[in-house]
Amino acid sequence: MINASVAGVIEEAYKHEQIEEVYGALNGILGVLNEQIIDLSEEKNSAIKGLLYTPAAALGSCRHKLAFGSKDAAKAAEAQRDCERILEVFKAHNIRYFFYAGGNDSMDTADKVNKLAQEQGYELRVIGVPKTIDNDLPFTDHCPGYGSVIKYLATAVMEASRDTEAMCSNPTCNLIEVMGRHAGWIAAGTVLAKRSEEDGPHIILLPEVPFVRESFVAEVKAIIAKLNRCVIVVGEGLQGPDGKLISFMDGKFVKDAFGHTQLGGAAESIRGIVEEEVGVKCRTAKLGVLQRSASHCASKTDRDNAYLAGARAVQIAVEGQTDVMVTLTREGAGESVKFGTGTAALAEIANNEKLLPRDWINEQGTLPNEKFIEYARPLIQGEVTPPMEGGLPKYVRLEKHLVEKKCGEYGAK
Amino acid sequence: MINASVAGVIEEAYKHEQIEEVYGALNGILGVLNEQIIDLSEEKNSAIKGLLYTPAAALGSCRHKLAFGSKDAAKAAEAQRDCERILEVFKAHNIRYFFYAGGNDSMDTADKVNKLAQEQGYELRVIGVPKTIDNDLPFTDHCPGYGSVIKYLATAVMEASRDTEAMCSNPTCNLIEVMGRHAGWIAAGTVLAKRSEEDGPHIILLPEVPFVRESFVAEVKAIIAKLNRCVIVVGEGLQGPDGKLISFMDGKFVKDAFGHTQLGGAAESIRGIVEEEVGVKCRTAKLGVLQRSASHCASKTDRDNAYLAGARAVQIAVEGQTDVMVTLTREGAGESVKFGTGTAALAEIANNEKLLPRDWINEQGTLPNEKFIEYARPLIQGEVTPPMEGGLPKYVRLEKHLVEKKCGEYGAK
């Protein structure tokens, strides 16, 4: 949904005569650092419209983090250098409005850039646009991207549950692993697939609820006894009572070739427990990046709010605001919910993670409750239908015409 | 799509006065053996119509195999007993038409039931209806279910490829594991996502093409050098030149709690190779049962052909045919393709597996070629749109009213 926010920024920007040119940075902040600036006026109008249903990030993304406040003095110094470089590039291109879409780290970067501009007396307005499927930013009702990821996952879990139901002439357990390193918002959202007791998911393992082997095994046995099947959604960041990740094979972490601990083995780990202690056949699925890019099953409400957040960012910048993130707000409940926008200070967003409230989860900790459902259901309403070509979606690509460089090389990675 | 074939059988059956009652068996052949027979006339018409877009098998499925010709004398005797029991149940309920949807094993069962009925002089017409996402049945142009699974997977791979493209400020490899134990039809179908060289998938690892580590690594390096990313689809049944499965972690198989070798670790195995020898970050996804139940992204052509196969089965049975499977045929090519039906002897279907022809794969064995694309593209045309309720599909369940039992207990599992 970051593309829909970008479309909101672009289309709104062209309505304001204070804004003469609209540029995009290739691969997020990396593109600013390396002065890879895209002239968006060179893009076809149809491509900008196409951003409303195209997955991923049409301008590219990056994992480059400005590590302000790092205990590693070299990293902290690099962050400061990066920040000064960003302003150097902005000045060279007379960039006076900086709209930055992302999560916690991005809001921290935006805040630091804003503060340095003020120190240097460079007139710059900096507005954050929330974007993370993790839905873990504070002060905003929800984050664009979240409604779509749970609409897709609830659909997929509903379908997988029907598959499990059809196959349950023998007892079967179906484990589906979804994203969420610290927060269980994504896993929780799959509860929307459950319209009756027999529907899956029957258990959702949330990172917020410490995993206790004994009570889990008892719960699975009870569900299998009743339904001859059990559909379990596992948040990848699931932890034991000791705070350690439940990961692949007997509690050993999987390390990649660089020695980094990899998330993503939680379902396989749970499978081992179920097969050993419940003694039923298990199937696992792990959706990986497919869940966050499933534009073919996006939520129109989510898309509209993503666009709104982008457009509103431009409006408040032109009105004179800076150093804030656009937030999404809600009024009313149920079918009469209306979403609007507000603002929150960038500095308060950064490094502040919103977890699933404990009282939105049932007492046993096995499923989100009605409070969560009331919150989440409005976010998945309506469908976005991409145009089709030859039986498959027709997504757009931007042409990405780079503007001429005016600064020296920087070489950020 | 088995549900669409069932709907085709039911709706067609009511058009023929020779057919007085229409029954369904709960969980396939198990329901016949255990005399769990559902009176389909008790179902709501809306539920029968709903079968046209509902995933999985509304009547249930099973893994009970009639192991005729098994070297294990006890198993072979059990198959014979099962076959006699099936006829006992049919006679008790005056069942004179037997329509059985499934793959190789199901066609074998149907053939044996037909032959025993003839031996016993019991008038019975037995027609097979092809159904397997694996698409590996001979004599039929394609199998219902296949078009939908590749439409969904091609969509998902297209979207994951965009995600990888957006994230490739650093070189990235994305591995997506799909079903297919022996045949690569499913993996091959994802090539439809590729409209240009930059689009994924960049490599498809097919079970038909022995996996050679050296040439694979060279190909990945070449693609990463060009695009800074590589999207690889891995068929779960991928084998080395020695015919052994490429499975999880250093060639060791994953065993489940019952000691059975589990498929489904091929992508993790390939990930190890890429990280070790190419030295780039990898992400994996494994879709499991979600790929075969993704009705929200089904192909209308596939659905229509599934319905047609079911309806045609009834027509030819009423006309007097028996011991055949309905096949799907095609005339013409490209956009003017037309599908029709034919028949093939059940005995020739059983235990006869159709693999992807070698000349439908490029010379290097890394991607299916134009011959495959010309074959597969017509199968994914058109969309099936399930009705929505609260932002999610509204799938149906049958009420499953059992008819009164007339035979003794049997206790098949």
Interval A20-75: pLDDT, tens = 999 999 999 999 999 999 999 999 999 999 999 999 999 999 888 898 888 999 99
Instruction: Note whether A292 contacts B163, CB cutoff 8 Å.
Output: yes
Contacts A–B by Cβ distance under 8 A:
199
Using a CB-CB cut-off of 8 Å, the residues of chain A touching B257 are 272, 275-276, 279
B294 to chain A, any CB pair closer than 8 A? The answer is yes
Tell me, yes or no, whether B152 lies in a domain: yes
Q: Is the pLDDT of residue A351 over 80?
A: no
CATH at A9: 3.40.50.450
The pLDDT score that the predictor gives to residue A263 is: 47
Same domain (yes/no): B54, B121: yes
Same domain (yes/no): B178, B116: no
Tell me, yes or no, whether A276 lies in a domain: yes
Look over chain A and give the mean of its residue pLDDT values, rounded to a whole number: 93
Tell me, yes or no, whether A158 lies in a domain: yes
- pLDDT 10s per residue in chain B (413 long)? 999 999 999 999 999 999 999 999 999 999 999 999 999 999 999 999 999 999 999 999 988 889 888 899 999 999 999 999 999 999 999 999 999 999 988 999 999 999 999 999 999 999 999 999 999 999 999 999 999 999 999 999 999 999 999 987 889 999 999 999 889 999 999 999 999 999 999 999 999 999 999 999 999 999 999 999 999 999 999 999 988 888 644 434 444 444 444 545 789 889 889 998 999 989 999 999 999 999 999 999 999 999 999 999 999 999 999 999 999 999 998 889 999 999 999 999 987 889 999 999 999 999 999 999 999 999 999 999 999 999 999 999 999 999 999 999 998 98
Q: Count up the domains in chain B and report the number.
A: 2
Q: For tokens 């006829």, what's the residue? A: B87
What average pLDDT does this structure show over A318-339? 96
User: A108, A134, A302, A323: which is the annotated catalytic residue?
Assistant: A134
Same domain (yes/no): B206, B275: yes
Q: Please identify, among A290, A308, A337, the residue that sits at the C-terminal boundary of a domain.
A: A290
The pLDDT score that the predictor gives to residue B394 is: 97
Confidence of residue A378 (pLDDT cuts 50, 70, 90): very high
Same domain (yes/no): B178, B230: yes
pLDDT tens column, A198-230: 999 999 999 999 999 999 999 999 999 999 999
Q: Please identify, among B241, B271, B290, the residue that sits at the C-terminal boundary of a domain.
A: B290
User: B82, B108, B134, B136: which is the annotated catalytic residue?
Assistant: B134
Instruction: Note whether B155 contacts A30, CB cutoff 8 Å.
Output: no
CATH at B207: 3.40.50.460
Q: Please identify, among A269, A290, A311, the residue that sits at the C-terminal boundary of a domain.
A: A290
Tell me, yes or no, whether B41 lies in a domain: yes
Tell me, yes or no, whether A379 lies in a domain: no
Tell me, yes or no, whether B113 lies in a domain: yes
Same domain (yes/no): A108, A166: no
Tell me, yes or no, whether B68 lies in a domain: yes
Same domain (yes/no): B322, B342: yes
Query: pTM to 2 decimals?
Result: 0.96
Same domain (yes/no): B217, B185: yes
Which residues neighbour A276 within 8 Å (Cβ) at sequence distance 6 or greater?
B257
Domain assignment of residue B260, given as a range: 146-290
Is A134 an annotated catalytic residue?
yes
Tell me, yes or no, whether A361 lies in a domain: no
Using a CB-CB cut-off of 8 Å, the residues of chain A touching B57 are 166
Same domain (yes/no): A167, A286: yes
Instruction: Note whether A275 contacts B256, CB cutoff 8 Å.
Output: yes
Using a CB-CB cut-off of 8 Å, the residues of chain A touching B1 are none
Same domain (yes/no): B28, B152: no
Residues B267, B275 contacting (CB under 8 angstroms) = no
Among the partner-chain residues B174, B272, B377, the one whose CB lies closest to the CB of A391 is B377
3-state per-residue secondary structure call for chain B: CHHHHHHHHHHHHCCCCCCCCCEEECCCHHHHHCCCEEEHHHCCHHHHHHCCCCCCCCCCCCCCCCCCCCCCHHHHHHHHHHHHHHHHHHHHCCCCEEEEEECHHHHHHHHHHHHHHHHCCCCCEEEEEECCCCCCCCCCCCCCCHHHHHHHHHHHHHHHHHHHHHCCCCCEEEEEEECCCCCCHHHHHHHHHCCCCCCCCCEEECCCCCCCHHHHHHHHHHHHHHHCEEEEEEECCCECCCCCECCCCCCCCEECCCCCEECCCHHHHHHHHHHHHCCCEEEEEECHHHCCCCHHHCEHHHHHHHHHHHHHHHHHHHHCCCCEEEEEEEECCHHHCEEEEEEEEHHHHCCCCCCCCHHHECCCCCCECHHHHHHHHHHHCCECCCCEECCEECCCCCCCCECCCCCCCCCCC
CA distance B321 to chain A (A): 30
